[in-house]
Structure 1
Amino acid sequence: MTFLSPERLWLLALIPALATAYVLVQLRRRRNTVRFTNLDLLARVAPQRPGWRRHLAAALFLVMITLMTIGFARPATGVKVPRDRATIMVAIDVSLSMMAKDVTPDRFTAAKEAAKKFIRDLPTRFNVGVVSFAGNANLVAAPTADRQSAITAIDQLAMAKRTAIGEAVFTSLQAIRSFDSQAGQDPPPAHIVLLSDGDNTTGRTVSEAIDAARAAHTPVSTIAFGTPYGTVDIEGETTSVSVNKETLRTLANGTQGKAYEASDAGQLSEVYTNIGSSLGWKTEHRDIAARFTGLALLFALAAAGTSLIWFNRLP
């Protein structure tokens, strides 16, 4: 819960003051009463009081004031609502390191299958685009609600040398800005999901990509895919291709995205499921002051009712 007018909460400081004043008044009454030395006269002018009951109405009144003050500060609760025109860009690393077989059957095949399942499972209100990147980045499927075009594009991906992570972010951002006629002035709410197993080896830097994504208010969530034991044979030479998690974590953290890790196809599918459940929503704050006002009214009625029943007067 949050407050839309939190500055009004300072009024809560008056509640302890009221409680203190009430206690002081009760103590003064007691001191005035014990001044009578004639016990018979004391019994007539100050008969036995109804104990705790005489304090209940005051306690209910203070609770009522507290609830009314909270309501006056306009309490609100966050509610998730679907984003209109929500666009997801899926960026897939197609560099030669993705041939590594430390993931069954290999990183590239597992990544494609998981990405296709992710796209199929997204709610229909999402628009999805696909970017592939190796030595450069290419938009292979423009963002659209047509799932099949994105899936077909993934099936046709081909591998190449080097890894241009920064370029993948820039290409995804350009696709988002070109989504529709409004996108230039009013870009759709968007999120980039980037899967890679390596470092940025060519093109614009990750730092530049972070700055561009932040300027566009577009988070980039990353998936570091593979194990530390991957190797590939390139031109007859075996090369170690361990995953560079730090670069991808830096990209995600710098753009307010999330950094994930997956070392096999099952984990990758689970990561995509988690991402899909969190995208395409925005949090709106709904005013719930009426709840506190209603509760305050109930406590006011309780205070009035107990006072009338026990003392034949309002508090």
Structure 2
Amino acid sequence: MYIMKYLSMLFLVLIVSCNKADTNITPPKKPQQLPQENIALLVDNSLSMIAKDFEPNRITVIKNVIKNIIDQKKENQAFSIVVFAKNSYILCPLTKDKNQLLSAINNLDAGIMQLHPGTVFSNVILNGIRSISKESGNKSMILFSDGKESTKSYPLEIAVQDAIKNNIKINTVMITPKDFTIMPISIDSKGEFQYQKLKAEPIDTIQLKKISIETGGTFKLFYTKNAIQKFNFSQLLSEKGNSNIKKIPSKISDGKLNKIYREIEMSNDSLAVIFNR
């Protein structure tokens, strides 16, 4: 009798212990969803980008760099691609689709003979903002170029301040040879470019550095094809921007800024006819 009573008590204790243990089981954690990263790639399509001092030329080297960036993209990363000279064109709207992005990259140099001659940073930055500003998540740009602005359009500070307003950091990447350039100087009767080897002049980095510093981005300067190909752009994209960027009241009214964006949108529409032939 005593043994039966003892066994009953022990059985009751075991049941209570098991029930208590069940209540302490921690439910499995749901996988954390990463915020979307929206990245605009702004690519110089001015005539100097076909210079042959970066073999086979500067624009092809940049195309291959961007292909690597897309090949290594994360699931939460979406990209747009904007080409520019004096004006600019959204070659590929914001997308996570690798195939769509890689197809656009194959046409990356199409703008060299389609866009207006020159180099302007304000136009392409504003177009880049258009391509990503309405999306939720983190926003940034990488601007690839081989030099400074050679002509004027909208004031650069308007574009930079609007990037800051939209919490968009701009990383800038400059490529330039150190010793000599091999620049296109003319076109022969067959429509082929003729090149001349010239001594490289000191490069002006002030504008691109300023764009990066003021928006919390990073400036990178590459003198060789090998150096830019070895650089870890995935790490650059993962770097957090400076959160202490000072937002200065814009010198332009919202009405005038909206007018500029409408002008850029109309330019995109007109260029689409040429690029989509």
Structures share a fold, TM > 0.5? yes
Q: Is the 8 A contact 2:48 2:184 kept in 1?
A: no
Residue 222 of structure 1 pairs with residue 172 of structure 2: yes
Higher helix share: 1
Show the counterpart of 1:254.
214
Q: Which amino acid aligns with 1:277?
A: Q
Residue 173 of structure 1 pairs with residue 129 of structure 2: yes
CA distance, structure 1, for counterparts of residue 156 and residue 197 of structure 2: 24
Q: Is the 8 A contact 2:39 2:79 kept in 1?
A: yes
Show the counterpart of 1:195.
144
Report % sequence identity.
21
Show the counterpart of 1:93.
44
Cα deviations by residue, 1:142-169 (Å, 9 ceiling, x for unpaired): 1111012112112112214211211111
Q: Secondary structure at the match of 2:168?
A: coil
Gaps of 5+ in 2: 1-31, 188-194, 242-277
Show the counterpart of 1:204.
154
Change (3 A) 1:253 1:153: same
Show the counterpart of 2:272.
none
CA distance, structure 1, for counterparts of residue 53 and residue 237 of structure 2: 30
Q: Is the 8 A contact 2:133 2:166 kept in 1?
A: no
1:29-44 superposed matches below 5 A: none
- Shift of residue 231, structure 1, vs aligned partner: 3.8
Show the counterpart of 2:25.
none
Q: Is the 8 A contact 2:126 2:159 kept in 1?
A: yes
CA RMSD of aligned residues (A): 2.4
* Matching residue within 143, 151, 155 for 2:106: 155
Show the counterpart of 1:276.
234
CA distance, structure 2, for counterparts of residue 232 and residue 256 of structure 1: 33
Change (3 A) 1:82 1:135: farther
- TM-score, structure 2 as length reference: 0.64
Q: Which amino acid aligns with 1:205?
A: P
- TM-score, structure 1 as length reference: 0.56
Indicate the structure whose relative CO is greater, using CA pairs within 8 Å and at least 6 residues apart. 1
Show the counterpart of 1:297.
none
Q: Secondary structure at the match of 2:144?
A: strand
Q: Is the 8 A contact 1:83 1:281 kept in 2?
A: no
Q: Is the 8 A contact 1:111 1:265 kept in 2?
A: no
Q: Which amino acid aligns with 2:153?
A: G
CA distance, structure 2, for counterparts of residue 221 and residue 92 of structure 1: 12
Q: Is the 8 A contact 1:163 1:199 kept in 2?
A: yes
Q: Secondary structure at the match of 2:118?
A: coil
Q: Which amino acid aligns with 1:253?
A: I
CA distance, structure 1, for counterparts of residue 60 and residue 204 of structure 2: 19
Change (3 A) 1:114 1:281: closer
Q: Secondary structure at the match of 1:104?
A: coil
CA distance, structure 2, for counterparts of residue 115 and residue 276 of structure 1: 11
Residue 122 of structure 1 pairs with residue 73 of structure 2: yes
Which structure has the larger Rg over C-alpha atoms?
1
Cα deviations by residue, 1:4-49 (Å, 9 ceiling, x for unpaired): xxxxxxxxxxxxxxxxxxxxxxxxxxxxxxxxxxxxxxxxxxxxxx
- Shift of residue 238, structure 1, vs aligned partner: 5.1
Q: Secondary structure at the match of 2:91?
A: strand
CA distance, structure 1, for counterparts of residue 156 and residue 33 of structure 2: 30
Aligned length: 194
Q: Which amino acid aligns with 2:208?
A: L
- Shift of residue 207, structure 1, vs aligned partner: 2.2
Q: Which amino acid aligns with 1:95?
A: S
- Shift of residue 269, structure 1, vs aligned partner: 2.3
